[in-house]
Amino acid sequence: MPFSNLGLSKPLIDAIAAAGYDKPTPIQQQAIPIALKGDNLIAAAQTGTGKTAGFVLPILERLLTATTLKKKRVRALIVVPTRELAIQVDEKIKQYAQFTELKSTALYGGVDYAPQKQALIEGVDVLVSTPGRLIDLYGQKAVYFEEVETLVLDEADRMLDMGFIEDINKIIARLPDDVQNLLFSATLSNPVRELARSAIDDAQEISIAKHSASKSNIEQWLVTVDKDKKSALLAHMINEYKWEQALIFIETKHGAAKLAAQLEKRGIYAEAFHSGRNQKVRAQLLEDFKRGKLQYMIATGVGARGIDIHELPTVINYDLPYPADEYVHRIGRTGRADAKGEAISFVSKDNFKNLCMIESRLGHLIERREIEGFTPRKEVPISVLNYVPKHRRPE
Ligand code: AMP
C-alpha cells in the first residue's frame, strides 16, 4: 500500500517523498487510519519501526484543516521520556511539517526556561516535552492545555520505568475531557495496561512489537568472555572487524569513561555519552555520531534512550542489559526500518541468568561465538529457554 492511499494531504505526502520513504511501515499502515479518524489508540511498537511518523503524520493532518495559533495554547501534546527523544521527535515533526505552516517545539529539563517560554508565546501547534519540564512550565502558566486535541504518550513503558507516573497523571488530569489519546510502548506490560485503563477509553489496540523483538534484519550473536577481558576483546574486535560505526552500551557512567580511556590506550578513539556530560556536549556527540564523524560511541542505557541513528549497522552490548526488555529496546537501535543490523553481546559467567531471561523473552537462543584468544576461563553454562527466576518459580 502506498502512502497516497492513507488519506494524507499533499504537503505531507511531499514531505514523505522528500524523506525518501517508499511505503508505510506496518505500524504506520495500522496506526495512521485509526489516528486520522480521531480514535484512541494503544500501540505496542518499538523504536525503529517507524512509529514516530505513525503518530506525527495523522496529528499534522488533523491540525492542517483547522487554523489559529494562539499564544501559549498548544493543539497536540507529545510526552516522551528523555530530552534526546524530545529533540529527535521535534526534528521529525519539523521534517514532516516542512511544507505546512504548522509549528512545533521541544521542551526538556536541564536548560534555560527563557527560550522555551518564548517559543510558547510565539505559538506552537505541536509540543513535544518530557513530563517534568511540562508540569513545571504549566505551573508557571507558560503553557495552557485547554486547546489540546491530541495527547501522545510515547515510550510509555520507559516513562513508567523512569518514575514519571505521577507527572503523567497530572498532565492527563489537566487536559480537556474529549482529548484523543495515543499511547505507544515497546511492551504492553501490566503497569502500561493499568495506565491505559485508567486514562484511555475505548482504545483500539495494535501490536507489532512481539515479533520485531527478534527482527530478522538484525543479526544477533554473543561472545562468551571473562569479565576482566572485555575491554581487550572490544579493542581486538574493533581492529579485526573494522566496523563502520558502532554504538557500545555499558552499564554505568563511570564504566563508560573508563572504557573510553582503555580504548584510547590501545589507539582507538571513542567518546562516552551519558547523563553526566552536559547537554551541549551530548548534543554535539550525537550530531557527530549521526554524521559519521564519530565512529565509536560508548553509551549508558538511559543516556542513549531515544537515540535515532538511521541505519546504524552495529550495536555492542558490552554489558548485558537488564531487564530483558531493555535488550529488545537496545537492539531496536540497529536495523531500523528495514536496514540490516548486527547486535553483538559480551556475556560472562555472572551474566548467565540474565542471558537466560533475555533468550526466553526473545523465544530463541542467541548464537554463541568464541573469539580466538578470548576463550573464557569461567565457562558460561548452556542456556535454558523458558527460564523462570528462582524467586518466581512455582512451589
Ligand atoms: P522510529 O521508529 O519512529 O524511531 O523510526 C525509525 C527510523 O525509520 C527513522 O529514522 C525514520 O526516519 C525511518 N522511517 C520511518 N518511516 C519510514 C518509512 N515508511 N520508510 C522508511 N524509513 C522510515
Q: What is the DSSP string of 24-38?
A: --HHHHHHHHHHHHT
Out of 28, 310, 328, mutate this one to test ligand 1's pocket (max ligand atoms within 8 Å of CB): namely: 310
The pLDDT, as a whole number, for residue 211 is 42
What does the alpha-carbon distance between residue 147 and residue 164 come to, in Å, rounded to a whole number?
23
User: Among 16-20, 71-75, 312-316, 378-382, whose mean pLDDT is lowest?
Assistant: 312-316
* CA proximity to 77, closest of 135, 19, 13, 14: 135
Give mean pLDDT, residues 307-334.
Answer: 78
Query: In which band, very low, low, confident or very high, does the pLDDT at 363 lie, cut at 50, 70 and 90?
Result: confident
Pick the more confident residue, 209 or 127.
Answer: 127
What does the alpha-carbon distance between residue 260 and residue 181 come to, in Å, rounded to a whole number?
42
Q: How far apart are the CA of 17 and the centre of ligand 1, in A?
A: 13
Buried b / exposed e along 100-111 (16+ C-beta atoms within 10 A): bebbbbbbbbee
The β-bridge partners of 346 are: 223
DSSP state of 333: T
Q: Cβ(329) to ligand 1 under 6 A?
A: no
In this structure, the number of other CB atoms found within 10 A of the CB of residue 284 comes to 15
CB 23 within 8 A of CB 2: yes
Q: How far apart are the CA of 41 and the centre of ligand 1, in A?
A: 19
Query: Looking at ligand 1, which atom is closest to the CA of residue 310?
Result: 10
Q: Cβ(212) to ligand 1 under 6 A?
A: no
Q: How far apart are the CA of 395 and the centre of ligand 1, in A?
A: 46
Pick the more confident residue, 204 or 152.
Answer: 152
Out of 28, 32, 52, mutate this one to test ligand 1's pocket (max ligand atoms within 8 Å of CB): namely: 52
The β-bridge partners of 181 are: 151
Check whether the bond before 81 is cis (ω within 30° of 0). Answer: no
In the numeric block, the cell 557512567 is attached to 253
Query: Looking at ligand 1, which atom is closest to the CA of residue 88?
Result: 4
Compute, in degrees rounded to 10, the torsion defined by CA atoms 126, 132, 137, 139: 130
Query: Looking at ligand 1, which atom is closest to the CA of residue 52?
Result: 3
What does the alpha-carbon distance between residue 189 and residue 85 come to, in Å, rounded to a whole number?
21
Q: Cβ(306) to ligand 1 under 6 A?
A: no
In the numeric block, the cell 509540543 is attached to 127
* CA proximity to 91, closest of 59, 52, 145, 124: 52
Query: Tens digit of pLDDT for each residue in 145-197?
Result: 999 999 999 999 989 988 999 999 999 999 999 999 999 998 888 899 999 98
Q: How far is CA 209 from CA 29, 51, 215, in A?
A: 14, 11, 9
Q: Cβ(334) to ligand 1 under 6 A?
A: no
Query: Looking at ligand 1, which atom is closest to the CA of residue 332?
Result: 2
Percent of the chain beyond pLDDT 90?
62
The pLDDT, as a whole number, for residue 335 is 55
Give mean pLDDT, residues 133-154.
Answer: 97
Domains of the chain in start order, with CATH, are 3-207 (3.40.50.300), 218-392 (3.40.50.300)
Query: Looking at ligand 1, which atom is closest to the CA of residue 54?
Result: 3
Buried b / exposed e along 369-392 (16+ C-beta atoms within 10 A): eeeeebebeeebeebeeebeeeee
What does the alpha-carbon distance between residue 295 and residue 166 come to, in Å, rounded to a whole number?
39
